[in-house]
Amino acid sequence: MISEVLKDADDRMHKGVEALRREYGTIRAGRANPSILDKVMVDYYGSPTPINQLANISVPEPRMLVVQPWDKSILPTLEKAILKSDLGLNPSSDGTVIRLIIPQLTSERRNELVKTVKKKAEEARVAIRNIRRDTNDQLKKLEKDHLASEDEVKRGQDEVQKLTDKIIKEIDHVMDVKEKEITEV
């Protein structure tokens, strides 16, 4: 019973870290990364569709993305969607592909991005602590319902705390890596 509760907490905490990594992937750090276009939705025959499902996105140079749609007729729609997004990129099209030049970040923008990265990391830490609280509540409920002894619950809570500390260290590491990537000129 306790092992199931702990396994569930472990899964949920690791999913939280993965969600943070995906979130960081969408933050533009002055380098071309296809995942910055993940949140860009294109109106494709009346339904909003992610750009990566309509085109091949490649990185031919460190600061350039090339978007090559599978259906050439949606090229203007893709351009409009990229312009409307809050990425601050200007697409240039030659009729077959869209080229996106990733501009060098200003120091002001770098500082803003670092603040955003730290904020997202803090949100992830809060989510992990919420999972810890929920798990501890579940363990206490097991004890209250006489499904586990007081010692088993105490050991379970210690395990949850160790897991929480490990995951928060991992979040801090992911944040540090992203911060270095952003501040690197």
* CATH code where residue 58 lies: 3.30.1360.40
Clarify whether residues 64 and 113 are in a common domain: no
Q: Print burial letters for 9-41: b (CB count within 10 Å at least 16), e (below 16).
A: bbebbeebbeebbebbeebbbbebbbebbeebe
Domain containing residue 88: 34-101
Are 117 and 165 within one domain? yes
Instruction: Give the pLDDT band (50/70/90) at residue 156.
Output: very high
Residue that is written with structure tokens 């060098």 in the block? 104
Looking at 101, 127, 159, the residue that finishes a domain is 101
Q: Are residues 48 and 87 in the same domain?
A: yes
Helix then strand then coil, % of the chain, to nearest 5: 65, 15, 20
Question: How far is the C-alpha of 156 from the C-alpha of 135, rounded, in Å?
Answer: 9
Q: Are 72 and 95 members of one domain? A: yes
Identify the pLDDT of residue 185. Answer: 62
How many CB atoms neighbour CB 169 within 10 A?
10
Residues 38 and 93 in one domain: yes
Q: What is the pLDDT of residues 82-122, one digit of tens each?
A: 888 877 788 888 888 999 888 787 888 888 888 989 999 99
CA 121/CA 32 separation, integer angstroms = 22
Looking at the structure, tell me whether residues 96 and 112 fall in a common domain.
no
pTM over 0.75: no
**24 touches 117 (CB < 8 A):** yes
